[in-house]
Amino acid sequence: MEDSLRQLAAPLSDSHTVTGLAEEFSPHIDRLTGLNNERYFAERINSLIGTLGCGDESFAVIIFDIDGFKPISDLFGRSAGDRILQQAGSRLRDALGSECTVSRIGADEFGVIIPSVAGEGDIGERIRCLLETLSEPYDVRYRTARLTASAGCSLFEPYANTAESVMNKAEMALYNAKRRGQGHFVLYSVEMEKAAKTATRIEQALRRAIAADEVEPYFQPIVDLDSRRIIGFEALARWTDPEIGVVMPATFIPIAEERGFISQLAQKVLRKAILAARDWPDDVYLSFNLSPSQLVDQQTVSQIKGILASTGFDPRRLEIELTETGLMTDPRSAAKIIEELRDHGMRIALDDFGTGQSSLGRLRDFRFDKLKIDRSFVSSMLEDQPSEHIVRAIVALCEGLRLGVIAEGIEQEEQAQLLMSLGCSEGQGYLFGAPIDASAALLLVHAQDKALSA
C-alpha cells in the first residue's frame, strides 16, 4: 500500500498534475494548483543538466510573474486570487506539451522548462504566445479580472551547471523585464549580469554614503519668467564616491528605490536642503521630489513633518513634487499622503505632466497646486507644432483649474518667450542656471536681493 501511494504521488511526466490523496502524500506537488512545486522544478533542471552534460543541446528555464496580482487579490479577496492562480497554472500547462515542465515556484510565480530549444528567436516567440495566454480575462466568480504577466528566461549553458545558477539567471531576467513595465519578457545575457554586479557595488557604496551623510543636495533655480527673479530652487541629490567617482542621480536613485532604502536617502537630502533653505529670503521656496515608494509609505508624512519641526522651516515654503507614475503605484495611499501634506501647509506639484501612465481624470481625483510641463515638450515646441499645442493646452488647462504652471528644461530664450506668450508664469532650466551647491545658491539669492534693493 505504501509503495502504491508513493508511486501515485510521484510526478509521472513534466506536465503531470495530481489531485486527491496524491497531493497529501507528494512532496513535489503544489496543493493549490496541482502543479509541480519549486522542489521538483529544481530537481528537474538538475536532471536535464546531467543528461545534456557539455554538449551543444540546450533547454530554457522561464519564470512568469503575474503583474499586479496582489492589488487584485486584495480587491476581490483571497479566494479570487486563488482562482486566478489556478487558471494561470492551467493555461500554462494546457499551452505546453507533455515534454515541458510547469511548476508553481512562488506566490504568483510559475516556472516553465522547455527541454529543447532551437535558439533565442524560437524561445522568444513561444514566450510571447504564453504571455498572451496569461493576459486573457480571468473568471473570478461573477466578474472578470484582466491581468498581464512578465517573464524572464535563461538558456542552459554548460558552465551554468546547477539548477540554482540557471534559476537565478531567469530571475535576474524577470527582474529586468518588470523594470520595463507590465507584459514584458527579457532573455538573460552576460551583460545583464555585469550590470547587476555594478548595481550591487553602487548599492553598497550608496548605503555607506547615506550612513556617513555624504549625499548632498544641489539646487536649480526656478524663476518668474516675466521678471526673471529667482522665486525658488528645486533640490536635486548629488553623490561622488571616493572609489567609483561621480554617480549620476539617474543611476543611484533607481537603485535606492528598487532596493528599499530610498526613504532614508530622501530624508537625509531633505533635511540638508531645508537647513540650506532657511537662510534664503522668506519669499523663495524649496521644491523637493518624493519617490513612488514614499507615496505608499504612510510614515512619509510624519517624517517630513518631523524634519520641518526640528528645523523650524515654514511648511508653506516647501513644495512637494510627485510624478504621475508614482501616483499610480497605490492611488489611495497617494491621495491620503497628498491631503495630509496639503493640510499641513505644503504645496503639491505634479511633475513630468503628460508623460506618465495617468490621465486627465487624475486632476480631479487628486488635489494639486501646480503642474510641471515636462522638458520633452519644452525642448521640441519651437520646431514641433504638436509639442507647442500640447504646451498651450496644458497652460490653458491650468488656468481653467486655477493651478500654477511651471515649464522645466528651458535652455533657449526663444522657448522662454513663447512660454510667456502662452501664459506660463514659472520656468526652470539651464537658461536660468544649472544645479549648484548650497553655498552658491545662497550667494545667488543674496546677490539678487542686493540688485533688487539698489
What angle separates helix 413-422 from helix 385-401, to the nearest 10 degrees?
40
pLDDT at 375: 92
Beta strand extents in 32-162 (DSSP E only): 60-66, 101-104, 109-114, 138-140, 143-145, 149-155
Residue 160 is predicted with a pLDDT of 59
The pLDDT of residue 362 is above 50:
yes
**Enclosing H/E stretch for 237:** strand 230-241
Structural fold of domain 2-188: Alpha-Beta Plaits (3.30.70)
Tell me the one-letter amino acid at 303.
Answer: Q
Instruction: Compute the mean pLDDT over every residue in the chain, rounded to the nearest whole number.
Output: 89
Structural element, H or E, at residue 190: helix 190-211
pLDDT band at 22 (very low <50, low <70, confident <90, very high): very low
pLDDT at 281 over 80: yes
- Please give the average per-residue pLDDT across 340-351, as a whole number: 96
Compute the distance between CA of residue 215 and CA of residue 265 in angstroms, rounded to an integer: 8
Looking at residue 143, what is its pLDDT? 86
Q: What pLDDT digit, counting tens, does each position of 407-435 carry?
A: 999 999 999 999 999 999 999 999 999 99
> Which residue, among 82, 25, 63, has the nearest Cα to 150 in the 3D structure?
63
Q: Among candidates 118, 184, 122, which has minimal Cα distance to 151?
A: 184
Give the relative orientation of helices 300-311 and 331-343 as an angle to the nearest 10 degrees: 20
Q: What is the average pLDDT across 164-178?
A: 93
Grid coordinates representing 110 are 510559475
Q: Closest Cα partner for 148 from 123, 200, 197, 184?
A: 184
What distance lies between CA 154 and its chain's CA centroid?
23
Q: What is the pLDDT of residue 141?
A: 78
What does residue 176 show for φ and ψ, rounded to 5 degrees?
-70, -35
The pLDDT tens digits of the residues spanning 92-126 come to: 999 998 889 999 999 999 999 998 887 777 898 99
Map residue 42 onto helix, strand or coil: helix
Q: Which residue has the cell 538558456?
A: 155
Cβ contact 287:346 at 8 Å: no
User: Which one is catalytic: 99, 408, 411, 413?
Assistant: 408
Tell me whether residue 408 is one of the annotated catalytic residues: yes
Ordered DSSP codes for 312-350: T--GGGEEEEEEHHHHTTSHHHHHHHHHHHHHTT-EEEE
Q: How far is CA 314 from CA 19, 272, 379, 438, in A?
A: 64, 15, 34, 18
Q: What is the pLDDT of residues 130-153, one digit of tens each?
A: 999 999 999 987 888 999 999 999
Name, in order, each residue with C-beta under 8 angstroms of 386's C-beta and a sequence gap of 6 or more.
none
pLDDT of residue 317: 98
The answer to whether 201 touches 424, Cβ cutoff 8 Å, is: no
- The answer to whether 222 touches 427, Cβ cutoff 8 Å, is yes
Indicate the helix (H) or strand (E) that contains 92. Answer: helix 78-95
| HSE-CB of 88 using CA atoms within 13 angstroms | 32
Of 8 and 383, more confident: 383
Q: What pLDDT does residue 318 have?
A: 98
Alpha helix stretches (DSSP H) within 222-349: 249-258, 262-277, 300-311, 324-327, 331-343
Instruction: Please report how many Cα atoms fall inside a 13 Å half-sphere around the Cα of residue 252, on the Cβ side.
Output: 25
How far apart are the C-alpha atoms of 176 and 181, rounded to whole Å?
9
Q: In this structure, what DSSP letter does residue 374 have?
A: -
Helix then strand then coil, in percent of the chain rounded to 5, is 50, 20, 30
Q: Which range, of 176-190, 299-313, 318-332, averages the lowest pLDDT?
A: 318-332
Q: What does the DSSP assignment read for 137-187? A: -EEETTEEE---EEEEEEE--TT--SHHHHHHHHHHHHHHHHHT-TT-EEE
Provide the pLDDT for residue 98. 87
Residue 198, amino acid: T
d(CA 75, CA 439): 50
Cell triple for 175: 527582474
Q: Domain locations in the chain?
A: 2-188, 198-453
Superfamily of domain 198-453: EAL domain (3.20.20.450)
Q: How confident is the model at residue 199 (pLDDT cuts 50, 70, 90)?
A: very high
